A and B are shown apart, each in its own frame.
Chain A
Amino acid sequence: MNRKVIFFLVSMAYLVIIMYGLYSVYNVEATLRIKEPPSVNPENRIAISHTELFGELERPQVVFYHKKHEDALKKDGESCNICHLANDENVVVFDFPKKVNKKDKTLVMNAYHDKCIECHKKKSRQNKKSGPVGCADCHRKELSAVKIEYPVFEFNFEYHDKHVKKLKEKIGKDDCGLCHHSYDITEEDEALALVYEKGTEESCYYCHEFGKKRGPELTAVTKAAEKKGLTVRKASHQQCLNCHLKYQEEYLKKGEKEACPTECVKCHTGKYKTVAELEKVPRPNRDQKDKPFINIENSRMKGVTFDHKSHEKYSKTCRSCHHETLNACDTCHSLTGKPEGNGINVANAYHNPFSGHSCSGCHNKKKEEKKCSGCHHNILAIDVDTMNPKKETCIACHSGKKDQLAMPKPLSTAGLDQKKVKNEIEIKALEKEFELSKFPHRDIIDKLVKVSNDSKMATYFHKNIQTLCEGCHHRSISEAEAQKDTPPNCRNCHMTAYDKQNLHKTRLLSAYHRQCLGCHEKMELEKGRKCKECHKEKTGVSAGITLMKNQNVVKQNSSKIINVWRPE
């Protein structure tokens, strides 16, 4: 073979290797940093970008001043349907551009351009104040990065109550059908498919929120809504605004300027009422029972009498327990789980410790409140699932007694034995550095009893005073200790030494600090947060930290550790 060719091939191979080496060295992955555009005050503006359709935009997004246009058009005597589509029944569908295939880029773009510029031109021809027609006047560069987002409007019980009352004034009777409807999937004529039946009212989200539906029947209904593009957003704008537009004039004449708003920011205020603020507002009546007896057939547990009426006051919406349907729990959650209930069986529906819809989940949320979390932050919510709850815990709800909700007596400290339950305890853990810490045992008990008695829920669930002891003496078994007649000590479980094998074990020093400080911090107590409140400085001793020699640390063959590991 020709020597020259061999030389050439070998050289080329080398070149390839070198190039590959250089490529792999310099081809360092770059970290991508995307800066979130700042969210600005909406001020009745709408950002038009349709990035879901156009992707990256050629020109900056258009910030549309809705209120300005609305006012200008109103002055000229025009109505909403100059821009928005009105269907046969004169119901305005708040959608723009009118009747355009929303998946065709050019059509959508042209629709915007034609419609806006055409109108602007027309107005200026009529010598009226008009909008811009040049590209950069709408596609303004300085507004390209702003994010205009409206906070979700919350139709709380107060609004609901107002609407019900106003409606009754207007038509003289309760007609929930004005807003609430259901969709009859079997009806072939679409105009007749929307029906209303008293007692079946549900939240808008039930049908108008797509994507998380359960059960075959509902899926069909949501599909019908999805076909029309009626998302919660669109459906509620259509439903609310049409009615508001209809009655706005009337209220303006009456001088009630705030009633029937159509301006964006009037509804999308971003302010939400708390549960406490809504407590006085009456809840909507849907023929619900005050104290239903929840008894699942063939279940292993006894039935529960549930005080529905008082629980209504503790939540902001019906949806917070009932999802969207406002049905009874067992309609969708059976003993073994049904597709309608997302396969969740009835036991988990009530007892899931983290769900916002379950009893346990909501009670756990309550326990995170300031007064409760002092003790309860240490008692893991997950314990409901992983450890067998005590019999008394179950019986608190599963009484099996119909219509009986006996409130237990408030706790009292009268029965406590002075000898066993000490008034003050001295803790010596840091005696080398500080004076002995004095722990006001009895005062703490009194305080906890008071906190417990102040809360209705706590009074119901803390049936006896031992329950409160378990807040600090968390792993003690009260029956066993009662027999042995010795109080449980922290050091029985918590060692002074550091356990290198079990990192989750809390050593004594840390157990004291975390128990005391954790509770004080969670209860937001001002007392007992500073070191010197418990630890008085020792006089005459230089306060050096004595590093304890640790007995528990496993000795490695330490003398030989001289090797060095370097990254290669």
Chain B
Amino acid sequence: MDRRTFLKIIGTGVAGATTGNLLRPERASASLGLSGREFYGILVDTTRCIGCRRCEKACAEVNGLPVPDISESKNESVLKKMRKTSDTEYTVINSYKTEKGTIFVPKRCMHCNQPGCAAACLVKAMKKRQTGQVTWDSNCIGCRLCMISCPFDIPKFEYGKAMPRIQKCNLCYDRYNKGELPGCVEVCPTQALVFGSRRQTLEEGKRRIAANPNKYIKHIYGEYEVGGTSHLYLSSVPFEQIGFRKDLGTRPYPEYSTGFLYAVPFIFVLWPIAMLGINRATKGNGKGKEEHHG
């Protein structure tokens, strides 16, 4: 082996080792995007929600969806059954009977700090914006991987349409850019929804818990769940009683797969070289010497 080959091999090895470290998934800072701009989100105080469904109506009006009937008699029958978000309802309110009375829980996209849907999207239609919103784009090909990857069962598919796409809450990204509040926050009559930067909403949530130690349980759902989410929830009863999953862990969902995915090319490049090296080392020595001298 001449000097050049040797240096090449060593160089590739060093480069491989360093990139290997670079590619290992690091936990992104919870509320700051890479540019230093903050993630925005909503603090949902389930103790304040009165189940009026005005947020559902506002959401429909803002997004041009069929506007639901939120008259009181209708609400009663609607709130009886558990609902999921759908392609025409980006936010739904469910009611739960607990020992502290009926609790209404608005359910919508949690806007994870590191969203599984965005990591799973093949065509980068699902995006995590620098200001925290997880939005979808028109280049969706309808593969529905985001639906599988979402721990909260949020993205919904337009099964009824000829050219179906994924639909979900986008935290009123357009309205945000115009400097307006998300529709649901704007109309909430009890300020159960509070919009602000994640730092602010987290602060406010913690302040409320500290000020009313008997009222709230000492946990903000979404502070650490799946690596943190932009939607934060406060509750007076343990979260599993109001339909939240407690088994998600604090590891962001993309982290489960990115490590493996980045390792694939890594192995593809390095494994043959290693094998070649072993091959060269163990093969008969006469031939190699001849090459060197020649």
Chain A positions within 8 Å of B, measured between CB atoms, are: 3-8, 10-11, 13-15, 17-18, 21-22, 24-26, 28-29, 31, 33, 354, 368, 380, 382, 498, 500, 503-504, 506-507, 509-510, 513-514, 517, 530-532, 537, 544-545, 547-550, 553-556, 558-559, 561, 563-568
Query: In the bound complex, do residue B280 and residue A7 qualify as a contact, i.e. CB atoms below 8 Å apart?
Result: yes
Question: What is the minimal beta-carbon distance from A30 to any residue of chain B, in angstroms?
Answer: 10
Would you call B214 an interface residue if the criterion is a C-beta within 8 Å of the partner chain's C-beta atoms?
yes
Complex CA–CA separation, A24 to B115 (angstroms):
22
Query: Which one, A15, A17, A31, A530, contacts B20 given CB within 8 A?
Result: A17
Within 8 A of A (CB), among B65-119: 67, 71-72, 113-115, 118-119
In the bound assembly, the distance between CA atoms of A554 and B114 in angstroms comes to 26
Contacting residue for A567 out of B17, B118, B271, B274, CB 8 A: B118
Please tell me if the beta carbons of A14 and B128 are within 8 angstroms of each other in the complex.
Answer: no
- Contact yes or no, B187 A545, CB < 8 A: yes
* Residue in B9, B189, B196, B277 whose CB lies within 8 Å of A510: B189
B62 interface residue, CB < 8 Å from A? yes
Q: List 7 A-B contacts (CB under 8 A).
A: A7-B277, A530-B72, A531-B72, A545-B54, A548-B186, A561-B129, A568-B25
Would you call A507 and B191 a contact (CB within 8 A)?
Answer: yes
**With A8-B278, A564-B127 known to touch, is A28 a contact of B196 (CB < 8 Å)?**
no
* Cα of A449 to Cα of B211 in the assembled complex, Å: 28
CA distance A507 to B260 in the complex (A): 49
Residues of A within 8 Å of B10, CB to CB, are 10
Q: Which residues of chain B are near A7, meaning CB under 8 Å? A: 1, 277-278, 280-281
> Which chain B residues numbered 1 to 52 have a C-beta less than 8 Å away from chain A?
1, 6, 9-10, 13, 16-17, 20, 24-25, 28, 33-35, 43, 48, 50, 52
Separation of A157 and B256 alpha carbons in the complex (Å): 59
| Complex contact A545–B61 (CB within 8 A) | yes
Cβ of B20 and Cβ of A21 under 8 Å apart? yes
Taking CB atoms, residues of chain B closer than 8 Å to A503 are: 43, 194, 196, 200-201, 203-204
Q: Is B252 an interface residue (CB 8 A)?
A: yes
Which of B142-150, B161-169, B176-184 forms contacts with chain A? Answer: B176-184
A469 to B237, CA, bound (A): 32
Write out the residue numbers on chain B whose beta carbons fall within 8 Å of the beta carbon of A17.
Answer: 13, 16-17, 20, 270
- On chain A, the residues within 8 Å of B256 by CB distance are 28
Pick the 5 closest A-B CB pairs, nearest first.
A11-B277, A510-B191, A14-B274, A7-B281, A567-B114
A504 to B194, CA, bound (A): 9
Residues of A within 8 A of B229 (CB): none
For residue B61, which residues in chain A have a CB less than 8 angstroms away from its CB? 544-545, 547
Which residue, of A6, A17, A547, A549, has the highest number of chain B Cβ atoms within 10 A? Answer: A547
B267-289: which residues lie under 8 A (CB-CB) from chain A? 267, 270-271, 273-275, 277-278, 280-281, 285, 288
Given A3-B288, A28-B251, A513-B50, 19 additional A-B pairs, CB 8 A: A7-B1, A7-B281, A10-B10, A22-B263, A22-B267, A24-B24, A24-B259, A29-B251, A354-B213, A380-B212, A509-B189, A530-B72, A544-B67, A553-B181, A561-B177, A565-B129, A566-B119, A567-B28, A567-B113
Set of chain A residues within 8 Å of B271, measured between Cβ atoms: 18
Against A, the Cβ 8 Å flags (1 = close, 0 = not) of B56-67 are 011001100001
Given A10-B10, A545-B58, A558-B178, also A21-B266 (CB < 8 A): yes
- Taking the nearest CB of chain A, how far is it from the CB of B286, in angstroms? 12
Contact B186 A547 (CB under 8 A): yes
- Other-chain contact of B183, A25, A33, A547 (Cβ < 8 Å): A547
Known: A4-B285, A567-B118. A10 touches B20 (CB 8 A): no
For the complex, what is the distance from the CA of A498 to the CA of B188, rounded to whole Å? 11
Q: Do residues A8 and B281 form an inter-chain contact, with CB atoms below 8 A?
A: yes
The interface residues of chain B lying within 8 Å CB-to-CB of A31 are 247, 249
Which chain B positions have C-beta within 8 A of A565?
A: 33-35, 128-130
Residues on A with beta carbons closer than 8 Å to the beta carbon of B187: 545, 547
Report B180 CB to chain A, min CB distance, Å. 6
Contact A498 B204 (CB under 8 A): no
CB of B130 within 8 A of CB of A10, answer no
Give the nearest-CB partner of B121 in chain A.
A566
Bound-state Cα–Cα, A537 to B71, Å: 9
With beta carbons under 8 angstroms apart, the residue of A14, A24, A498, A558 that contacts B181 is A498
Q: Which residues of B contact A553 (CB under 8 A)?
A: 179-181
Cβ contacts under 8 Å, A14 to chain B: 13, 16, 270, 273-274, 277
Contact A517 B277 (CB under 8 A): no
- Separation of A533 and B128 alpha carbons in the complex (Å): 43
- A498–B186 touching, CB < 8 Å: yes
A517 near B50 (CB under 8 angstroms)?
yes
Asked whether B190 is an interface residue with its Cβ less than 8 Å from the other chain, the reply is yes
**Set of chain A residues within 8 Å of B200, measured between Cβ atoms:** 503
Closest to B292 in A: A3
Give Cα distance in the complex from A413 to B57, angstroms: 43
Does B254 belong to the interface (CB within 8 Å)? yes
Task: Write out, one digit per residue, whether chain B residues 197-221 have a CB within 8 A of any chain A CB (1) or not (0).
Answer: 0001101100110011110000000
Q: Tell me whether B258 is interfacial, beta carbon within 8 Å.
A: yes
A13-B13, A517-B50 known; A566-B128 Cβ under 8 A: yes
- Whether B260 pairs with A25 at a CB distance below 8 angstroms is yes
Q: Is B131 an interface residue (CB 8 A)?
A: yes
| Given A17-B16, A18-B267, A567-B118, residue A561 in contact with residue B195 (CB < 8 A) | no
Contact B189 A513 (CB under 8 A): yes
A354 to B131, CA, bound (A): 40
How many Å lie between the Cα of A503 and that of B212 in the bound state? 16
Q: When the two chains form the complex, which single residue of A24, A500, A506, A545 contacts B195, counting CB atoms closer than 8 Å?
A: A500
What residues of chain B lie closer than 8 Å to A8, measured between beta carbons?
277-278, 281
Q: How far is the CA of A4 from the CA of B278 in the complex (A)?
A: 9
Q: How far is the CB of A504 from chain B (nearest CB, A)?
A: 6
Cross-chain contact of B274 among A11, A506, A531, A547 (Cβ < 8 A): A11
| Interchain CB contact (< 8 A) of B191 among A11, A506, A548, A563 | A506
Question: Complex: how many Å from CA A532 to CA B191?
Answer: 20
Instruction: Give the docked Cα–Cα distance between A531 and B34 (Å).
Output: 45
- Shortest CB-to-CB span from B257 to chain A, Å, is 10
Which of B61, B190, B200 has the most chain A CB within a 10 Å cutoff? B190
Residue of A nearest to B135 (CB): A564
Contacting pair A567 B186 (CB below 8 A): no
CB neighbours of A564 from chain B (8 A):
124, 127-130
How far is B9's CA from A10's CA once the two chains are assembled, in angstroms? 8
Residue of B nearest to A14 (CB): B274
Q: How far is the CA of A554 from the CA of B285 in the complex (A)?
A: 75
Q: How far is the CA of A3 from the CA of B35 in the complex (A)?
A: 49
Q: Does B242 contact A (CB under 8 A)?
A: no
Residues of A within 8 A of B34 (CB): 565
A382 and B208 alpha carbons, distance in the complex (Å): 12
Contact residues in A for B6 (Cβ distance below 8 Å)? 6
Instruction: Please tell me if B234 contacts chain A, counting CB pairs below 8 Å.
Output: no
Indicate if the CB atoms of B177 and A11 lie closer than 8 Å: no
| Beta-carbon contact of B212 and A25 below 8 Å | no
Is A549 touching B180 in the complex (CB atoms < 8 A)? yes
